[in-house]
Structure 1
Amino acid sequence: MSMQYGLAAPGQVLKVVTGDINFPYNFVKDQRVQGLSVDVAQELAARLGMRLDIQVLPWTRALHTAQTQTSVMLFTVAKIPAREKNYYWIGPVTHSEEWLYKLKRRTEIEVRTLEDARHYLVGDEANNASIPVLAHLGIKVDTAPSMPSNCRKFKVGRVDLIPFDPDGVEDFARSCDLSMAEIEKTVQVPRDTALYFAFGKSTPAEFIRRVNAAFESMVKDKSLQKICKTWKPDTPKK
């Protein structure tokens, strides 16, 4: 799925790759990619005099595409050691907590600490930033190619817990036919909460400087904060 936004001269296109479900940062609704990161990227592209072209891919493929292709931007992505050297980083754009959720009906699952989580199987999307953190903590992880397929396993009990951001979990639950009354937050995954945009290292340094300058102008004039507060009302003032 590829979607274009805005007007610009031919050839002036900011190409973006992203995953399908990451509420409230990027998600597909009404056949459009929407979310906090989409709004930030649209403003960023406008300041660069470019048109935005967003392609929705499986997350593993999105990571690989941005890493191996020139001047392709990736969002929304956490900076973890395994990724850090592979990309140029723009941001942080916003911050995202990640918590483990269980089905309330599964009363046999009791998770009050991260140590408790070691007794259960966590379902996660392949190449999610939480996977190495969970592995380091000795928590077993079963991966799925996408969040919808991960949620299907969660609903039928093939995995016990799934990680998600509290700011987007209600929309995520709704997307896979669960209500908030059916799920329960347990413990937080202890990772860096910053989220970024990223480009592969074959991207010209001059273009990265232009993107960084445009992004910093959004920080300076509070445009970034305004967009973030639209999607995350608890965004702190800076």
Structure 2
Amino acid sequence: MRLFQKLKRSIIATVLVWPLTANGHETIDKLSLYTEDYAPLNFIQDGRLTGISIDLMEEMLKRAGANQNRDSIKVVPWDQGYVTVQNRPNSALFAMVRAKNREQQFHWVGPIAKTSIVLIGRESNDQPLQSLDQLSGARIAAVNNDVGHQLLLEQGFDPTGIQLISSPQTAIGLLNSGEVDYWAYDQLVVSWHLNQSGNRSSLTARYILGQGEYYFAFNKRTDRRIIVVFRQILDEMREDGSLEKILGRYMTSDH
């Protein structure tokens, strides 16, 4: 039965991909692809764009018969990419946490990885946190339009206490200097950057704002066939072990 279902999905995917990749791969190769510097999901290392979502997208493009590859992906600040993909047909931004306030703004392909959005603070700050109500007057760093920023606002945190930043390195510097008390961000990404910066022992997760999963987010006016094909290909990668193999390249046991 499972073999029949797999064969059926493969046939459907082939039928759907054919009109996308015919005539010079015109439809799928018109996709505008955007990402940010957000290791280990997407980042530049030794001059090459890499990471979980980059490897996945390149493999999906390859399996779809597209001419595009990782060199076709533009690296932009998160806020710029977010606004662009909200407004530009046939475009995608990744990796993005699928959240309630974003649900109707994009088409979703995934999930590709689980995540916790946390408040990172200094270990020397030993005040136990049970709710955001305890943080009156606190200063929290967050990236504009990042899910951490959005969760703070949704949960009623005073926006005047949020310092908007553009990079994890800036947040780590602000925490170490005492200019902010906390940093709202993804725990997987935080762990990566703390390991890289050598600050792992001095900064720690103090409070969980929310949990979710990462997806590829596509503009709502993207050709529907592209969404269906990418979903099918990602399902196949999950079944054949390709997704797990890519995750294993970047996620260590302490993540």
Larger radius of gyration: 2
CA-to-aligned-CA distance 1:108-157 (integer Å, 9 cap, x gap): 56243234344522110000112232233333422223333333433332
Corresponding residue number in structure 2 for 1:45: 61
- Tell me which of 123, 130, 145 is aligned to 1:127: 145
How many pairs align? 222
Corresponding residue number in structure 1 for 2:199: 179
Deviation at 1:98, TM superposition (A): 2.1
Change beyond 3 A, Cα 1:206–1:120: same
For structure 2, list consecutive stretches of 5 or more residues without a partner in the other structure: 1-23
CA-to-aligned-CA distance 1:72-121 (integer Å, 9 cap, x gap): 221010122332212110011111112221133xx356243234344522
What do you get for the CA RMSD once the two structures are aligned? Answer: 2.5
Change beyond 3 A, Cα 1:119–1:108: farther
Corresponding residue number in structure 2 for 1:190: 210
- Tell me which of 202, 216, 219 is aligned to 2:235: 216
Identity across matched positions, percent: 23
Establish whether residue 90 from structure 1 lines up as the match of residue 106 from structure 2: no
Change beyond 3 A, Cα 1:130–1:110: same
- Tell me which of 168, 179, 182 is aligned to 1:158: 179
- Moved >4 Å (runs of 4+): 9-12
User: What letter is aligned with 2:184?
Assistant: P
For structure 1, list consecutive stretches of 5 or more residues without a partner in the other structure: 1-8
Worse-superposed segment, 178-187 or 61-70:
178-187
Corresponding residue number in structure 1 for 2:43: 27
In structure 1, C-alpha distance between the alignment counterparts of 2:165 and 2:233, rounded to whole Å: 36
In structure 2, C-alpha distance between the alignment counterparts of 1:36 and 1:112, rounded to whole Å: 32
User: What letter is aligned with 1:126?
Assistant: N
User: What letter is aligned with 1:129?
Assistant: V
Corresponding residue number in structure 1 for 2:85: 66
Q: TM-score, normalised by structure 1?
A: 0.81
Q: Which has the higher helix share?
A: 2
- Secondary structure of 1:98's counterpart equals strand
CA-to-aligned-CA distance 1:170-229 (integer Å, 9 cap, x gap): 431356x452122122122224x1110011012111222222222222123232222223
Change beyond 3 A, Cα 1:154–1:108: closer
- Secondary structure of 2:192's counterpart equals helix
Q: TM-score, normalised by structure 2?
A: 0.76
Contact 2:110 2:214 in 1 (8 A): yes
User: What letter is aligned with 1:128?
Assistant: D
